[in-house]
Structure 1
């Protein structure tokens, strides 16, 4: 089966890595819209246009299922995309449910981190309102983490001061779970671990998203593909040379997916 993955940049590789580990025998197309990243600070209508263009591209490339491995893109466009296309389109949302469940029987709180656009969307507000019965959730936009990731900047010297500055108005001892609500954010998990107690759970939506993908594939009774492949695109341009592809494969190796 040909499966399309889409993100504004390299963040979706955190979801793709989970798919490659659990569902290796497929043809994967990975589209990174790096010409327009980051999405988080941009106007909603502008981002919607980029998302529709990317999904149309993947459909034209033969994708039979598409995973929108981007919380921001999902929040503003997934409903309309499902109306437009007949193929399954899987979206992502910050993993609020497992985070709230993890603190249910305690006085601890949940910190939901994401891009500004994701946090503003009604979709997330309704999700939290439905699940957070005891008002244990706080929100924190971390837009610069996307920019850091797209610049391949993962040094402690750059990331830790930024996180500490953003968290300075929070009492981090209050939290039992932190939601990494942007697919770029798991790339900084070890930085969060250096700030929060080891008892704090870092939760992202990759596993649940890939479980959904797996169920769809099983439902369609797809035969294993013996020509498994992985093709990368940067904003509609297919990457051919090893030099172009290397930044993507480097991240996947770090995530132990290849």
Structure 2
């Protein structure tokens, strides 16, 4: 197994690319593994790119931390990836986007794509919309602006679900505890009144099958992964930054390059990358 220095040198070489900006790496950031759901969509529509995925595992979860601490942690992560020489950064975390995206865009010159709850398409359905997110996202001014902009904020109910992040980080995707927790959260809600469920945290996408087993079968589930990937693709096309070097994905945990092959294979599986592609 390579040591951390060897891994870092290898990653820096990949990030710098060869012969121009399109060969550079795309940075993808989340507090933990939730952003792998976004990375899966990125790989699907941009399969010839190099990616470095940054999971701030030492500081996860972000969803119940003070906003100032979240801003500082996210800035450290983005600075780490910018120092590698990435051509764009995707904040694959609703919490981080809600409190830090404006300051990040003001500070760094690389394109920074954020992630927001998919409220607009959810409101195209005929009934009420339930938005589940972390406490920081629910309280954020950015979400309030998004709801006000929709013009139909009165059709959207907000529900904090912080423990889902903890369950996801523990790989408890279909456990009895998860099902019990979600059912307890939804006590008092008339689920038949909802046509849409918006997952306002990238971690929550790991629980789609559980949500479908609890909600009426006609429920439509929305997350921000597709919109985030589409936004990145548009930015790359607009700036002639689309790569054509073939897929590669490397991982970092809180600023340390991940070299454990078993852990790399686990993350590859979670984001739908075959073992052969991940090696």
Instruction: Say yes or no: does 1:219 pair with 2:242.
Output: no
Higher mean C-alpha deviation, range 245-254 or range 52-61: 245-254
Change beyond 3 A, Cα 1:223–1:197:
closer
Deviations 1:189-224 (A, max 9, x none): 000000111211000011111111111111122353
Instruction: Say yes or no: does 1:121 pair with 2:144.
Output: no
What is residue 177 of structure 1 aligned with on the other side?
196
- Aligned residues of 1:10 and 1:150 also touching (Cα < 8 A): yes
Mapped partners of 2:50, 2:267: distance in 1: 16
- Aligned residues of 2:54 and 2:253 also touching (Cα < 8 A): yes
Mapped partners of 1:223, 1:47: distance in 2: 30
After TM superposition, the score normalised by the length of structure 2 is: 0.87
What is residue 91 of structure 1 aligned with on the other side?
114
Instruction: Say yes or no: does 1:55 pair with 2:78.
Output: yes
Instruction: Say yes or no: does 1:67 pair with 2:86.
Output: no
Q: SS in structure 2 opposite 1:102?
A: coil
Match of 1:78 among 68, 81, 101: 101
Mapped partners of 2:183, 2:270: distance in 1: 25
Aligned pairs for 1:1-258 (under 5 A) are 1-103=24-126, 108-133=127-152, 135-222=154-241, 224-253=243-272
Change beyond 3 A, Cα 1:237–1:134:
closer
Q: SS in structure 1 opposite 2:272?
A: helix
Mapped partners of 1:95, 1:145: distance in 2: 19
Higher mean C-alpha deviation, range 153-162 or range 206-215: 153-162
* Superposed displacement of residue 134, structure 1: 6.7
What is residue 9 of structure 2 aligned with on the other side?
none
Mapped partners of 1:244, 1:134: distance in 2: 42
Mapped partners of 1:123, 1:252: distance in 2: 28
What is residue 5 of structure 2 aligned with on the other side?
none
Deviations 1:89-119 (A, max 9, x none): 000111111111223xxxx100000000000
Higher mean C-alpha deviation, range 9-18 or range 147-156: 147-156
- Aligned residues of 2:147 and 2:153 also touching (Cα < 8 A): no
The count of residues paired between Structure 1 and Structure 2 equals 254
After TM superposition, the score normalised by the length of structure 1 is: 0.94
Q: CA RMSD in A?
A: 1.8
* Superposed displacement of residue 175, structure 1: 0.4
Task: After the TM superposition, list the runs of 4 or more consecutive aligned residues in structure 1 that deviate by more than 6 angstroms.
Answer: none
What is residue 4 of structure 2 aligned with on the other side?
none
Change beyond 3 A, Cα 1:254–1:221:
closer
- Aligned residues of 1:3 and 1:65 also touching (Cα < 8 A): yes
* Superposed displacement of residue 241, structure 1: 2.3
